[in-house]
Amino acid sequence: MQLALHLADSVLILAQRNAEWCGHGPVLEQDIALTNITLDLVGQARSLYQYAANQKGGDATEDSLAYTRLEHEYLNGLLVEQPNGDWAQTVLRQFFFSAYQSAYYTQLEKCTDKDLSAIAEKSLKEIRYHLRWSSEWVIRLGDGTEESHSRMVQALEILWPYTGELLEPADYELALGFLHTDALKQEWQSTIRNVLEEASLAYPAPAFMHTGGKYGRHTEHMGYILSELQYMQRAYPNSQW
């Protein structure tokens, strides 16, 4: 169940971050594109929370898992809870995560758990679009004007220290035996390196990496995210749409 919660929490928190852009995108077309990506992520979260609720049993539901847990009970990586910053930082965060998710779910699709495999298969169709969209934006900004390039360099400096955690699996990620860590790292690093090169951005040197999110130790941003995300359910318990 922890694996499903980790995967669900990661896409839910990223969706919550991306949703902050709704109505504020740089142009209408891209505002809509990011909103659609956000809806895809929410859909993925729902499937995973439903799976986790069935595993947990009792009165657990997708809503209770998403909206009533405490901060330390969320297992998402630290990357997805980082602030939006500017458009460059937002699209780079999405690119880093989508590249990771694409490599991860390709392996998850081969998992012996048929339900998780089915979720991965369905999600991959969306993830590949997310990766293509975010890659194009990283290249467009990195290889664009002096201003856009400068903003991508700054975004890279801010977000890179939160990427290492993605590639260091927690014990519950290894339990089902589907995850091949070396292959995951190689695919992610290759995707990142190729896009950064095309974007005229240097691949970062080895640096200190923040960890802890996969075990419920989060940054100061997480509490603020949850206060907004959980407000309606806590103000009106058991409410339903």
Residue 33 main-chain phi, psi, to 5 deg: -60, -45
What pLDDT was estimated at residue 203? 97
User: In this predicted structure, what is the pLDDT of residue 40?
Assistant: 97
The reported pLDDT for the residue numbered 28 is: 76
Return the axis-axis angle of helices 221-229 and 2-19, rounded to nearest 10°: 80
Read out DSSP for 179-226? Answer: --HHHHHHHHHHHHHHHHHHTT-PPPPP------GGGT---THHHHHH
Encode 85-122 in three state secondary structure: CCHHHHHHHHHHHHHHHHHHHHHHCCCCCHHHHHHHHH
How far, CA to CA in Å, does 234 sit from each of 2, 50, 52, 186?
A: 23, 20, 21, 42
pLDDT value at residue 241: 62
pTM for the full predicted model:
0.95
Give the pLDDT confidence score for residue 31 in this predicted structure.
79
Give residue 238's pLDDT: 81
Residue-by-residue pLDDT tens, the chain, 241 positions: 899 999 999 999 999 999 999 888 788 778 788 999 999 999 999 999 999 999 888 989 999 999 999 999 999 999 999 999 999 999 999 999 999 999 999 999 999 999 999 999 999 999 999 999 999 999 999 999 999 999 999 999 999 999 999 999 999 999 999 999 999 999 999 999 999 999 999 999 999 999 999 999 999 999 999 999 999 988 888 877 6
Which of 11, 76, 100 is CA-nearest to residue 48? 11
How large is the angle between the packed helices 28-56 and 2-19, nearest 10 degrees? 160
In our burial notation (b when 16+ CB lie closer than 10 A, e otherwise), range 180-199 reads: eeeebbebbeebbeebbeeb
As a dihedral over the C-alpha atoms of residue 62, residue 36, residue 229, residue 217, rounded to 10 degrees, the angle is 80
Q: What is the pLDDT of residue 239?
A: 78
